[in-house]
Structure 1
Amino acid sequence: MMLSGKVIIITGACTGIGKAVAIKCVQEGAKVVINGLEDDLGVELIGFLGNENAELVIGDITESHLPNLLVETAKKTFGKLDAVVNNAAFIATSDIDNTEIAFFEKMFKVNTIAPFALIQASTKELSNNGGCVVNIGSINAWGGEPHLLAYSVSKGALMTLTRNLGDSLFRQKGIRVNQINPGWVLTDKEKRNKKEQGMKDNWFEDISDFFAPAGRIFKPEEIANMAAFLLSDQCGPVSSQVFDMEQFPLIGRNMPKDIIITK
Protein backbone atom coordinates (compact mmCIF):
# COMPACT_ATOMS: atom_id res chain seq x y z
CA MET A 1 0.00 0.00 0.00
CA MET A 2 1.63 3.20 -1.19
CA LEU A 3 0.28 5.49 1.57
CA SER A 4 0.85 3.16 4.50
CA GLY A 5 1.31 5.05 7.77
CA LYS A 6 0.60 8.49 6.33
CA VAL A 7 -1.83 10.98 7.91
CA ILE A 8 -3.66 13.20 5.43
CA ILE A 9 -6.07 16.14 5.72
CA ILE A 10 -8.65 16.31 2.91
CA THR A 11 -11.02 19.27 2.56
CA GLY A 12 -14.35 19.06 0.78
CA ALA A 13 -14.25 15.35 1.51
CA CYS A 14 -17.88 14.55 2.29
CA THR A 15 -18.83 14.38 -1.39
CA GLY A 16 -17.49 14.08 -4.92
CA ILE A 17 -13.78 14.09 -5.67
CA GLY A 18 -12.83 14.69 -2.04
CA LYS A 19 -14.79 11.67 -0.89
CA ALA A 20 -13.15 9.52 -3.56
CA VAL A 21 -9.72 10.76 -2.47
CA ALA A 22 -10.48 9.93 1.17
CA ILE A 23 -11.58 6.41 0.28
CA LYS A 24 -8.53 5.83 -1.93
CA CYS A 25 -6.15 7.10 0.74
CA VAL A 26 -7.55 4.75 3.37
CA GLN A 27 -7.46 1.87 0.91
CA GLU A 28 -3.77 2.65 0.41
CA GLY A 29 -3.08 2.53 4.16
CA ALA A 30 -3.44 6.16 5.25
CA LYS A 31 -5.34 7.74 8.12
CA VAL A 32 -7.44 10.74 7.12
CA VAL A 33 -8.97 13.85 8.64
CA ILE A 34 -11.93 14.76 6.44
CA ASN A 35 -13.49 18.21 6.34
CA GLY A 36 -16.72 19.32 4.73
CA LEU A 37 -20.07 21.01 5.30
CA GLU A 38 -22.44 18.04 5.08
CA ASP A 39 -22.59 16.56 8.58
CA ASP A 40 -24.81 13.59 7.69
CA LEU A 41 -22.71 12.61 4.69
CA GLY A 42 -19.53 13.04 6.70
CA VAL A 43 -20.78 10.74 9.46
CA GLU A 44 -21.79 8.20 6.81
CA LEU A 45 -18.32 8.33 5.26
CA ILE A 46 -16.63 7.88 8.64
CA GLY A 47 -18.77 4.81 9.17
CA PHE A 48 -17.61 3.43 5.84
CA LEU A 49 -13.93 4.23 6.41
CA GLY A 50 -13.89 3.14 10.05
CA ASN A 51 -13.32 5.26 13.16
CA GLU A 52 -9.81 3.89 13.44
CA ASN A 53 -8.96 5.29 10.00
CA ALA A 54 -10.78 8.60 9.80
CA GLU A 55 -11.77 11.66 11.83
CA LEU A 56 -14.44 14.19 10.80
CA VAL A 57 -14.23 17.97 11.19
CA ILE A 58 -17.36 19.74 9.96
CA GLY A 59 -16.91 23.41 9.18
CA ASP A 60 -16.44 26.13 6.57
CA ILE A 61 -12.82 26.06 5.42
CA THR A 62 -12.84 29.87 5.12
CA GLU A 63 -13.36 30.28 8.88
CA SER A 64 -10.11 31.55 10.39
CA HIS A 65 -9.86 28.82 13.05
CA LEU A 66 -10.41 25.86 10.70
CA PRO A 67 -6.87 25.41 9.33
CA ASN A 68 -5.30 25.17 12.79
CA LEU A 69 -8.17 22.98 14.00
CA LEU A 70 -7.58 20.51 11.17
CA VAL A 71 -3.85 20.34 11.87
CA GLU A 72 -4.36 19.91 15.62
CA THR A 73 -7.00 17.23 14.99
CA ALA A 74 -4.57 15.26 12.84
CA LYS A 75 -1.87 15.49 15.50
CA LYS A 76 -4.19 14.67 18.40
CA THR A 77 -5.98 11.80 16.68
CA PHE A 78 -3.19 10.20 14.65
CA GLY A 79 -0.01 11.71 16.10
CA LYS A 80 1.30 13.62 13.07
CA LEU A 81 0.52 15.13 9.67
CA ASP A 82 2.07 14.01 6.38
CA ALA A 83 -0.03 15.60 3.67
CA VAL A 84 -2.83 18.00 2.77
CA VAL A 85 -5.33 17.77 -0.08
CA ASN A 86 -7.01 21.11 -0.79
CA ASN A 87 -10.16 19.98 -2.57
CA ALA A 88 -12.98 22.16 -1.15
CA ALA A 89 -14.24 24.59 -3.77
CA PHE A 90 -16.96 27.09 -4.59
CA ILE A 91 -18.29 26.60 -8.13
CA ALA A 92 -20.79 29.04 -9.61
CA THR A 93 -21.40 30.69 -12.95
CA SER A 94 -20.61 34.35 -13.61
CA ASP A 95 -19.45 36.58 -16.44
CA ILE A 96 -18.21 40.13 -16.96
CA ASP A 97 -21.73 41.57 -16.74
CA ASN A 98 -22.96 39.91 -13.56
CA THR A 99 -19.85 39.30 -11.44
CA GLU A 100 -20.18 41.49 -8.37
CA ILE A 101 -17.12 42.29 -6.27
CA ALA A 102 -18.50 40.50 -3.21
CA PHE A 103 -19.06 37.37 -5.30
CA PHE A 104 -15.55 37.58 -6.72
CA GLU A 105 -14.11 37.94 -3.21
CA LYS A 106 -16.05 34.90 -1.96
CA MET A 107 -14.77 32.84 -4.89
CA PHE A 108 -11.18 33.74 -4.05
CA LYS A 109 -11.72 33.23 -0.33
CA VAL A 110 -12.82 29.62 -0.83
CA ASN A 111 -10.75 28.57 -3.85
CA THR A 112 -7.46 30.38 -3.28
CA ILE A 113 -7.07 31.96 0.15
CA ALA A 114 -8.41 28.99 2.16
CA PRO A 115 -5.95 26.54 0.52
CA PHE A 116 -3.12 28.97 1.25
CA ALA A 117 -4.21 29.28 4.89
CA LEU A 118 -4.29 25.51 5.36
CA ILE A 119 -0.86 25.09 3.76
CA GLN A 120 0.49 27.86 5.98
CA ALA A 121 -0.97 26.24 9.10
CA SER A 122 0.44 22.84 8.07
CA THR A 123 3.96 23.88 7.10
CA LYS A 124 5.70 23.03 10.38
CA GLU A 125 4.23 19.52 10.60
CA LEU A 126 4.73 18.79 6.92
CA SER A 127 8.34 19.94 7.13
CA ASN A 128 8.99 17.63 10.08
CA ASN A 129 7.72 14.65 8.12
CA GLY A 130 8.91 15.38 4.58
CA GLY A 131 5.28 15.98 3.67
CA CYS A 132 3.41 17.21 0.63
CA VAL A 133 0.38 19.10 -0.63
CA VAL A 134 -1.97 18.29 -3.49
CA ASN A 135 -4.26 21.08 -4.67
CA ILE A 136 -7.32 20.17 -6.73
CA GLY A 137 -7.79 22.81 -9.39
CA SER A 138 -9.58 22.77 -12.75
CA ILE A 139 -8.63 22.90 -16.40
CA ASN A 140 -10.51 26.20 -16.34
CA ALA A 141 -7.42 27.58 -14.58
CA TRP A 142 -5.83 27.99 -18.02
CA GLY A 143 -8.43 30.52 -19.12
CA GLY A 144 -11.85 29.04 -18.57
CA GLU A 145 -15.22 29.47 -20.17
CA PRO A 146 -16.98 32.84 -20.52
CA HIS A 147 -19.68 31.95 -17.98
CA LEU A 148 -17.12 30.71 -15.42
CA LEU A 149 -15.17 33.95 -15.09
CA ALA A 150 -14.65 34.26 -11.32
CA TYR A 151 -14.24 30.51 -10.81
CA SER A 152 -11.66 30.23 -13.58
CA VAL A 153 -9.62 33.16 -12.30
CA SER A 154 -9.62 31.77 -8.75
CA LYS A 155 -8.34 28.41 -10.01
CA GLY A 156 -5.71 30.19 -12.08
CA ALA A 157 -4.54 31.91 -8.91
CA LEU A 158 -4.43 28.54 -7.13
CA MET A 159 -2.26 27.19 -9.94
CA THR A 160 0.21 30.05 -9.49
CA LEU A 161 0.19 29.41 -5.74
CA THR A 162 1.04 25.77 -6.44
CA ARG A 163 3.90 26.68 -8.77
CA ASN A 164 5.31 29.23 -6.33
CA LEU A 165 5.07 27.17 -3.14
CA GLY A 166 6.03 23.98 -4.93
CA ASP A 167 9.39 25.55 -5.62
CA SER A 168 9.99 27.63 -2.49
CA LEU A 169 8.67 25.17 0.11
CA PHE A 170 10.47 22.22 -1.47
CA ARG A 171 13.77 24.08 -1.52
CA GLN A 172 13.40 25.54 1.97
CA LYS A 173 11.50 22.85 3.89
CA GLY A 174 11.36 19.72 1.76
CA ILE A 175 7.59 20.03 1.22
CA ARG A 176 6.34 19.05 -2.23
CA VAL A 177 3.35 20.96 -3.65
CA ASN A 178 1.55 19.83 -6.81
CA GLN A 179 -1.84 20.34 -8.44
CA ILE A 180 -4.37 18.29 -10.39
CA ASN A 181 -6.54 20.12 -12.92
CA PRO A 182 -9.51 17.85 -13.60
CA GLY A 183 -11.63 18.16 -16.69
CA TRP A 184 -15.31 17.21 -16.62
CA VAL A 185 -15.97 14.81 -13.72
CA LEU A 186 -19.13 12.76 -13.14
CA THR A 187 -19.82 13.50 -9.47
CA ASP A 188 -23.22 13.04 -7.83
CA LYS A 189 -23.53 16.83 -7.68
CA GLU A 190 -22.85 17.12 -11.41
CA LYS A 191 -25.55 14.53 -12.09
CA ARG A 192 -28.05 16.52 -10.02
CA ASN A 193 -27.07 19.86 -11.53
CA LYS A 194 -27.55 18.69 -15.10
CA LYS A 195 -30.88 17.06 -14.22
CA GLU A 196 -32.06 20.31 -12.60
CA GLN A 197 -31.06 22.11 -15.80
CA GLY A 198 -33.58 19.99 -17.67
CA MET A 199 -31.37 17.23 -19.02
CA LYS A 200 -32.49 13.60 -18.96
CA ASP A 201 -31.56 11.34 -16.05
CA ASN A 202 -28.92 9.46 -18.04
CA TRP A 203 -27.47 12.50 -19.85
CA PHE A 204 -23.95 11.31 -19.08
CA GLU A 205 -24.43 8.22 -21.23
CA ASP A 206 -24.76 10.29 -24.40
CA ILE A 207 -22.04 12.95 -24.45
CA SER A 208 -20.62 14.44 -27.64
CA ASP A 209 -17.21 13.07 -28.53
CA PHE A 210 -16.12 16.70 -28.81
CA PHE A 211 -16.15 16.81 -25.00
CA ALA A 212 -15.36 13.16 -24.35
CA PRO A 213 -13.34 11.38 -27.03
CA ALA A 214 -13.26 8.38 -24.67
CA GLY A 215 -17.05 8.16 -24.84
CA ARG A 216 -17.45 9.18 -21.20
CA ILE A 217 -16.28 11.79 -18.72
CA PHE A 218 -13.97 11.19 -15.77
CA LYS A 219 -14.94 9.31 -12.63
CA PRO A 220 -14.04 10.81 -9.22
CA GLU A 221 -12.06 7.65 -8.52
CA GLU A 222 -9.75 8.40 -11.44
CA ILE A 223 -8.89 11.80 -9.99
CA ALA A 224 -8.34 10.07 -6.64
CA ASN A 225 -5.88 7.63 -8.22
CA MET A 226 -3.73 10.51 -9.44
CA ALA A 227 -3.96 12.24 -6.07
CA ALA A 228 -2.82 9.09 -4.26
CA PHE A 229 0.24 8.82 -6.49
CA LEU A 230 1.21 12.46 -5.93
CA LEU A 231 0.76 11.98 -2.17
CA SER A 232 2.96 8.90 -2.13
CA ASP A 233 6.71 8.48 -1.89
CA GLN A 234 6.51 6.71 -5.26
CA CYS A 235 6.06 10.15 -6.82
CA GLY A 236 9.65 10.96 -5.96
CA PRO A 237 10.88 14.58 -5.85
CA VAL A 238 8.16 15.93 -8.15
CA SER A 239 7.07 19.39 -7.01
CA SER A 240 5.62 22.62 -8.42
CA GLN A 241 3.86 20.67 -11.19
CA VAL A 242 0.32 20.90 -12.55
CA PHE A 243 -1.24 17.75 -14.01
CA ASP A 244 -4.12 18.26 -16.43
CA MET A 245 -6.53 15.33 -16.34
CA GLU A 246 -8.32 15.95 -19.61
CA GLN A 247 -9.08 13.93 -22.73
CA PHE A 248 -7.99 16.49 -25.32
CA PRO A 249 -5.48 19.32 -25.91
CA LEU A 250 -6.43 22.58 -24.21
CA ILE A 251 -4.45 24.79 -26.57
CA GLY A 252 -5.79 25.30 -30.07
CA ARG A 253 -9.10 23.54 -29.49
CA ASN A 254 -11.97 25.53 -30.98
CA MET A 255 -15.23 25.45 -29.05
CA PRO A 256 -18.37 25.26 -31.23
CA LYS A 257 -20.35 28.49 -30.83
CA ASP A 258 -23.58 26.65 -30.05
CA ILE A 259 -22.19 24.54 -27.19
CA ILE A 260 -21.62 25.67 -23.61
CA ILE A 261 -20.77 23.30 -20.78
CA THR A 262 -19.81 23.53 -17.13
CA LYS A 263 -16.95 21.49 -15.74
Structure 2
Amino acid sequence: MSRLANKVILVTGSATGIGKAIAKRCVAEGAQVIIHGLEADLAANVVAELGSHKAVAHVEDLTAEGCPQRLVDLAVKTFGKLDAIVNNAAMVSQGNIHDTDAAFFMKMISVNTLAPFLLIQAALPELTKTRGNVLNIGSVNAYSGEPNLLPYSISKGGLMTLTRNLGDTLMRENGVRVNQINPGWVLTENEAQRKREHGLKEDWYTDLPKVYAPAGRILWPEEIAAAAVFWLADESGPISGQVMDLEQHPFIGRNPPKDSSTIPTK
Protein backbone atom coordinates (compact mmCIF):
# COMPACT_ATOMS: atom_id res chain seq x y z
CA MET A 1 0.00 0.00 0.00
CA SER A 2 1.28 3.50 -0.87
CA ARG A 3 2.32 5.37 2.25
CA LEU A 4 0.98 8.74 1.05
CA ALA A 5 -2.06 7.55 -0.89
CA ASN A 6 -4.58 10.33 -1.62
CA LYS A 7 -2.57 12.99 0.19
CA VAL A 8 -2.02 16.48 -1.24
CA ILE A 9 1.39 17.87 -0.34
CA LEU A 10 2.90 21.29 -1.01
CA VAL A 11 6.71 21.31 -1.28
CA THR A 12 8.45 24.67 -1.49
CA GLY A 13 11.70 24.92 -3.40
CA SER A 14 10.85 21.74 -5.29
CA ALA A 15 12.06 22.67 -8.77
CA THR A 16 15.54 21.42 -7.81
CA GLY A 17 17.53 19.59 -5.17
CA ILE A 18 16.10 18.18 -1.96
CA GLY A 19 12.65 19.63 -2.61
CA LYS A 20 12.47 18.01 -6.04
CA ALA A 21 13.53 14.67 -4.59
CA ILE A 22 10.87 14.94 -1.87
CA ALA A 23 8.15 15.83 -4.39
CA LYS A 24 9.09 12.90 -6.63
CA ARG A 25 9.11 10.49 -3.69
CA CYS A 26 5.73 11.80 -2.50
CA VAL A 27 4.20 11.07 -5.91
CA ALA A 28 5.82 7.64 -5.95
CA GLU A 29 4.11 7.00 -2.61
CA GLY A 30 0.68 7.97 -3.97
CA ALA A 31 0.44 11.72 -3.29
CA GLN A 32 -0.38 14.69 -5.46
CA VAL A 33 2.00 17.63 -5.13
CA ILE A 34 2.30 21.36 -5.60
CA ILE A 35 5.70 22.21 -7.07
CA HIS A 36 7.14 25.59 -6.14
CA GLY A 37 10.27 27.43 -7.19
CA LEU A 38 11.77 30.49 -8.81
CA GLU A 39 12.65 28.97 -12.18
CA ALA A 40 9.61 28.51 -14.43
CA ASP A 41 11.37 26.13 -16.81
CA LEU A 42 12.67 23.88 -14.05
CA ALA A 43 9.29 23.77 -12.28
CA ALA A 44 7.59 22.92 -15.58
CA ASN A 45 10.08 20.11 -16.15
CA VAL A 46 9.22 18.56 -12.79
CA VAL A 47 5.48 18.73 -13.52
CA ALA A 48 6.06 17.15 -16.93
CA GLU A 49 8.05 14.35 -15.33
CA LEU A 50 5.43 13.66 -12.66
CA GLY A 51 2.34 14.22 -14.83
CA SER A 52 -0.19 17.05 -14.73
CA HIS A 53 -2.70 14.81 -12.94
CA LYS A 54 -0.20 14.42 -10.10
CA ALA A 55 1.48 17.83 -9.95
CA VAL A 56 0.90 21.53 -10.51
CA ALA A 57 3.48 24.33 -10.33
CA HIS A 58 3.59 27.83 -8.88
CA VAL A 59 6.55 30.12 -9.60
CA GLU A 60 6.99 33.02 -7.17
CA ASP A 61 9.32 34.34 -4.50
CA LEU A 62 8.01 33.07 -1.17
CA THR A 63 8.70 36.45 0.42
CA ALA A 64 6.32 38.22 -1.98
CA GLU A 65 3.24 39.47 -0.17
CA GLY A 66 0.40 36.98 -0.51
CA CYS A 67 2.52 34.16 -1.96
CA PRO A 68 1.82 31.69 0.88
CA GLN A 69 -1.94 32.12 0.50
CA ARG A 70 -1.71 31.75 -3.28
CA LEU A 71 0.11 28.44 -2.83
CA VAL A 72 -2.54 27.16 -0.43
CA ASP A 73 -5.35 28.31 -2.71
CA LEU A 74 -3.73 26.55 -5.68
CA ALA A 75 -3.59 23.28 -3.78
CA VAL A 76 -7.26 23.44 -2.81
CA LYS A 77 -8.40 24.63 -6.23
CA THR A 78 -6.44 21.92 -8.07
CA PHE A 79 -6.71 18.91 -5.77
CA GLY A 80 -9.50 19.82 -3.35
CA LYS A 81 -7.58 19.87 -0.09
CA LEU A 82 -4.17 20.16 1.56
CA ASP A 83 -2.73 17.44 3.81
CA ALA A 84 0.84 18.62 4.37
CA ILE A 85 3.39 21.30 3.62
CA VAL A 86 7.14 20.86 3.34
CA ASN A 87 9.04 24.06 4.06
CA ASN A 88 12.13 23.29 2.01
CA ALA A 89 12.89 26.50 0.07
CA ALA A 90 15.93 28.26 1.48
CA MET A 91 18.55 30.88 0.78
CA VAL A 92 22.07 29.47 1.18
CA SER A 93 24.79 32.11 1.08
CA GLN A 94 28.00 32.76 2.95
CA GLY A 95 28.40 35.54 5.48
CA ASN A 96 30.29 36.13 8.73
CA ILE A 97 30.45 38.66 11.55
CA HIS A 98 32.67 40.95 9.47
CA ASP A 99 30.98 41.06 6.07
CA THR A 100 27.27 40.64 6.89
CA ASP A 101 25.16 43.78 6.67
CA ALA A 102 21.63 44.31 7.92
CA ALA A 103 19.97 43.93 4.52
CA PHE A 104 21.63 40.57 3.84
CA PHE A 105 20.80 39.31 7.34
CA MET A 106 17.15 40.33 7.05
CA LYS A 107 16.84 38.70 3.62
CA MET A 108 18.17 35.43 5.04
CA ILE A 109 15.72 35.52 7.94
CA SER A 110 12.85 36.48 5.61
CA VAL A 111 13.41 33.51 3.30
CA ASN A 112 14.52 30.83 5.76
CA THR A 113 12.51 31.61 8.89
CA LEU A 114 9.70 34.07 8.29
CA ALA A 115 8.45 32.58 5.00
CA PRO A 116 7.95 29.10 6.55
CA PHE A 117 6.04 30.70 9.42
CA LEU A 118 3.78 32.61 7.05
CA LEU A 119 3.11 29.50 4.96
CA ILE A 120 2.15 27.52 8.06
CA GLN A 121 -0.11 30.38 9.10
CA ALA A 122 -1.79 30.48 5.68
CA ALA A 123 -2.15 26.69 5.48
CA LEU A 124 -3.41 26.13 9.02
CA PRO A 125 -7.16 26.27 8.24
CA GLU A 126 -6.77 23.60 5.55
CA LEU A 127 -4.37 21.48 7.59
CA THR A 128 -6.80 21.60 10.50
CA LYS A 129 -9.54 20.16 8.28
CA THR A 130 -7.35 17.22 7.25
CA ARG A 131 -5.49 16.85 10.58
CA GLY A 132 -2.44 17.30 8.43
CA ASN A 133 1.16 18.05 9.17
CA VAL A 134 4.15 20.29 8.50
CA LEU A 135 7.69 19.15 7.76
CA ASN A 136 10.38 21.81 7.99
CA ILE A 137 13.70 21.20 6.29
CA GLY A 138 16.43 22.74 8.41
CA SER A 139 20.16 22.13 8.67
CA VAL A 140 22.62 20.71 11.19
CA ASN A 141 24.08 24.23 11.13
CA ALA A 142 21.11 25.24 13.29
CA TYR A 143 23.06 24.14 16.37
CA SER A 144 25.90 26.63 15.89
CA GLY A 145 27.09 26.55 12.30
CA GLU A 146 30.31 27.58 10.63
CA PRO A 147 31.92 31.04 10.87
CA ASN A 148 31.18 31.77 7.21
CA LEU A 149 27.56 30.61 7.46
CA LEU A 150 26.56 32.82 10.37
CA PRO A 151 23.27 34.37 9.10
CA TYR A 152 22.24 31.08 7.48
CA SER A 153 22.89 29.15 10.69
CA ILE A 154 20.91 31.64 12.77
CA SER A 155 17.99 31.46 10.34
CA LYS A 156 17.93 27.67 10.64
CA GLY A 157 18.18 27.90 14.41
CA GLY A 158 15.08 30.07 14.35
CA LEU A 159 13.31 27.53 12.16
CA MET A 160 14.13 24.79 14.65
CA THR A 161 12.64 26.80 17.50
CA LEU A 162 9.56 27.41 15.34
CA THR A 163 9.21 23.65 14.87
CA ARG A 164 9.52 22.91 18.57
CA ASN A 165 7.08 25.64 19.53
CA LEU A 166 4.36 24.97 16.94
CA GLY A 167 4.84 21.22 17.24
CA ASP A 168 3.34 21.54 20.70
CA THR A 169 0.86 24.36 20.10
CA LEU A 170 -0.69 23.16 16.84
CA MET A 171 -0.93 19.54 17.92
CA ARG A 172 -2.94 20.50 21.01
CA GLU A 173 -5.07 23.21 19.41
CA ASN A 174 -5.51 21.98 15.81
CA GLY A 175 -4.44 18.36 15.64
CA VAL A 176 -1.65 19.39 13.24
CA ARG A 177 1.80 17.86 13.63
CA VAL A 178 4.98 19.91 13.03
CA ASN A 179 8.36 18.19 12.72
CA GLN A 180 11.75 18.91 11.19
CA ILE A 181 14.62 17.22 9.36
CA ASN A 182 18.11 18.71 9.70
CA PRO A 183 20.17 17.48 6.74
CA GLY A 184 23.93 17.55 6.73
CA TRP A 185 25.97 18.04 3.58
CA VAL A 186 23.83 17.07 0.57
CA LEU A 187 24.94 16.82 -3.07
CA THR A 188 22.29 18.96 -4.77
CA GLU A 189 22.65 20.66 -8.15
CA ASN A 190 23.04 24.03 -6.45
CA GLU A 191 25.62 22.75 -3.97
CA ALA A 192 27.71 21.23 -6.74
CA GLN A 193 27.62 24.54 -8.62
CA ARG A 194 28.46 26.61 -5.53
CA LYS A 195 31.60 24.59 -4.86
CA ARG A 196 32.72 24.90 -8.49
CA GLU A 197 32.23 28.66 -8.20
CA HIS A 198 34.45 28.56 -5.11
CA GLY A 199 37.24 27.22 -7.31
CA LEU A 200 36.97 23.49 -6.67
CA LYS A 201 37.39 21.01 -9.50
CA GLU A 202 34.43 19.73 -11.51
CA ASP A 203 34.22 16.40 -9.66
CA TRP A 204 35.19 17.74 -6.22
CA TYR A 205 32.63 15.52 -4.48
CA THR A 206 34.39 12.29 -5.55
CA ASP A 207 37.47 12.89 -3.38
CA LEU A 208 36.51 14.32 0.00
CA PRO A 209 38.52 14.11 3.24
CA LYS A 210 37.20 11.50 5.67
CA VAL A 211 36.84 14.20 8.32
CA TYR A 212 33.98 15.64 6.26
CA ALA A 213 32.66 12.47 4.65
CA PRO A 214 33.38 9.34 6.73
CA ALA A 215 31.40 7.25 4.24
CA GLY A 216 33.51 8.49 1.33
CA ARG A 217 30.68 10.61 -0.07
CA ILE A 218 28.10 13.13 1.08
CA LEU A 219 24.33 12.64 1.20
CA TRP A 220 22.04 12.36 -1.80
CA PRO A 221 18.73 14.27 -2.01
CA GLU A 222 16.89 10.96 -2.38
CA GLU A 223 18.11 9.91 1.06
CA ILE A 224 16.56 12.99 2.61
CA ALA A 225 13.35 12.31 0.68
CA ALA A 226 13.18 8.76 2.01
CA ALA A 227 13.23 10.08 5.57
CA ALA A 228 10.67 12.77 4.77
CA VAL A 229 8.06 10.18 3.86
CA PHE A 230 7.93 8.86 7.43
CA TRP A 231 7.06 12.30 8.82
CA LEU A 232 4.50 13.05 6.10
CA ALA A 233 2.78 9.68 6.40
CA ASP A 234 0.22 8.64 9.00
CA GLU A 235 2.65 6.01 10.30
CA SER A 236 4.44 8.65 12.37
CA GLY A 237 1.24 8.84 14.43
CA PRO A 238 0.94 11.69 16.92
CA ILE A 239 4.67 12.52 17.00
CA SER A 240 5.15 16.28 16.89
CA GLY A 241 7.69 18.95 17.72
CA GLN A 242 10.61 16.67 16.90
CA VAL A 243 13.85 17.35 15.04
CA MET A 244 15.76 14.56 13.30
CA ASP A 245 19.35 15.09 12.20
CA LEU A 246 20.40 13.35 8.99
CA GLU A 247 24.17 13.34 8.85
CA GLN A 248 26.87 10.66 8.77
CA HIS A 249 28.71 11.90 11.85
CA PRO A 250 27.78 13.60 15.14
CA PHE A 251 27.83 17.27 14.24
CA ILE A 252 27.72 18.86 17.69
CA GLY A 253 31.18 19.12 19.24
CA ARG A 254 32.87 17.54 16.22
CA ASN A 255 35.61 19.95 15.13
CA PRO A 256 37.89 19.04 12.22
CA PRO A 257 41.64 19.08 13.03
CA LYS A 258 43.47 22.26 12.09
CA ASP A 259 45.41 20.57 9.29
CA SER A 260 42.31 19.16 7.58
CA SER A 261 40.92 20.38 4.27
CA THR A 262 39.21 23.76 4.30
CA ILE A 263 36.27 22.58 2.19
CA PRO A 264 33.15 23.95 3.94
CA THR A 265 31.01 21.08 5.11
CA LYS A 266 27.52 22.43 4.39
Measure, in 1, the Cα distance between the counterparts of 2:148 and 2:258: 13
Query: Is the 8 Å Cα contact of residues 109 and 155 (structure 2) preserved in structure 1?
Result: yes
Q: Which residue of 2 aligns with 1:90?
A: 91
Measure, in 2, the Cα distance between the counterparts of 1:230 and 1:191: 27
How do 1:147-162 and structure 2 match up within 5 A?
Answer: 147-162=148-163
Instruction: Mark the runs of 5 or more structure 1 residues left unpaired by the alignment.
Output: none
1:228 is displaced (CA, Å) by 1.2
Q: Which residue of 1 aligns with 2:102?
A: 101
Amino acid at match of 2:125: K
The CA deviation string for residues 34-87 of structure 1, in whole angstroms up to 9 with x for no partner, is 110010001111100000000100000011211111111110100000000000
Q: Which residue of 2 aligns with 1:261?
A: 264
How do 1:47-86 and structure 2 match up within 5 A?
Answer: 47-86=48-87
How do 1:132-171 and structure 2 match up within 5 A?
Answer: 132-171=133-172
Q: Which residue of 2 aligns with 1:7?
A: 8
Q: Which residue of 1 aligns with 2:217?
A: 216
Is the partner of 1:133 in helix, strand or coil? strand
The CA deviation string for residues 135-174 of structure 1, in whole angstroms up to 9 with x for no partner, is 0000000000000000000000000000000010001111
Q: Which residue of 1 aligns with 2:38?
A: 37
What do you get for the CA RMSD once the two structures are aligned?
0.9
1:203 is displaced (CA, Å) by 1.1
1:194 is displaced (CA, Å) by 1.4
Is the partner of 1:191 in helix, strand or coil? helix
Measure, in 2, the Cα distance between the counterparts of 1:94 and 1:59: 25
TM-score, normalised to structure 1's length? 0.98
Amino acid at match of 1:261: P
Measure, in 2, the Cα distance between the counterparts of 1:37 and 1:262: 26
Instruction: Mark the runs of 5 or more structure 2 residues left unpaired by the alignment.
Output: none
1:252 is displaced (CA, Å) by 2.5
Off by >4 Å, runs of 4+ in structure 1: none
Q: How many residues align?
A: 263
The CA deviation string for residues 84-138 of structure 1, in whole angstroms up to 9 with x for no partner, is 0000001110111111011110000000000000000011110110100000000
Measure, in 2, the Cα distance between the counterparts of 1:170 and 1:10: 21
Amino acid at match of 1:54: A
Would you say 1:22 and 2:23 are equivalent positions? yes
Measure, in 1, the Cα distance between the counterparts of 2:32 and 2:122: 19
Measure, in 2, the Cα distance between the counterparts of 1:211 and 1:139: 13
Q: Which residue of 2 aligns with 1:203?
A: 204
Q: Which residue of 2 aligns with 1:244?
A: 245
